[in-house]
């Protein structure tokens, strides 16, 4: 079974609008971490935001916020006030504490295109 599911292969958003990228996860672990990475066309992987399974508040980092709904096992990324530079692939990833080595399981990604 897929540990991370990203159901939106591609998304479009108007510049300055907000957009939500979906991510659901599957784990039986009680302790885990959720990450979002951005991959622009240049290819590097850029860390955006982290949410721990025991964190009571949703994580925020500047224009990025993570809408964490534990009961639904979802960890959606919200980008506010989209900019042209936000056009990229976005990957959701999960780390299960029981694996012991901080291994990340990645989803297949969502390609976001920001329209001027």
Partner 1 sequence: NAGVTQTPKFRVLKTGQSMTLLCAQDMNHEYMYWYRQDPGMGLRLIHYSVGEGTTAKGEVPDGYNVSRLKKQNFLLGLESAAPSQTSVYFCASSYPQTAYEQYFGPGTRLTVT
Nearer to partner 1, 68 or 107 (CB): 107
| H or E element that contains 107 | none
With CB under 8 A as the contact rule, the residue among 1, 28, 41, 100 that binds partner 1 is 100
What lies within 8 Å, CB to CB, of 29 at 6+ separation is 53, 96, 97, 98
d(CA 12, CA 26): 27
CB of 107 to partner 1, least distance (A): 6
Q: Is 53 helix (H, G, I), strand (E, B) or coil?
A: coil
Binding residue for partner 1 (CB under 8 A) from 43, 56, 57, 116?
A: 43
Asked if 31 is part of the footprint of partner 1 (rule: CB under 8 A), the reply reads yes
Q: Residue 47 interacts with partner 1 (CB under 8 A)?
A: yes
């Amino acid at each position: 079974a897929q540990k991370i599911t990203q159901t939106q292969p591609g998304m479009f958003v108007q510049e300055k609008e907000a957009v939500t990228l979906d991510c659901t996860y599957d784990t039986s672990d009680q302790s885990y971490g959720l990450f979002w990475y951005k991959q622009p066309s240049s290819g590097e992987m850029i860390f955006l935001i982290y949410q721990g399974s025991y964190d009571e508040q949703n994580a925020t980092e500047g224009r990025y916020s993570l809408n964490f709904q534990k009961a639904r096992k979802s960890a959606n990324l919200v980008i506010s006030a989209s900019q042209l530079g936000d056009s990229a692939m976005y990957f959701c990833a999960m780390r299960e504490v029981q694996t012991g080595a901080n291994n990340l399981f990645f989803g297949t990604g969502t390609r976001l295109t920001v329209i001027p």
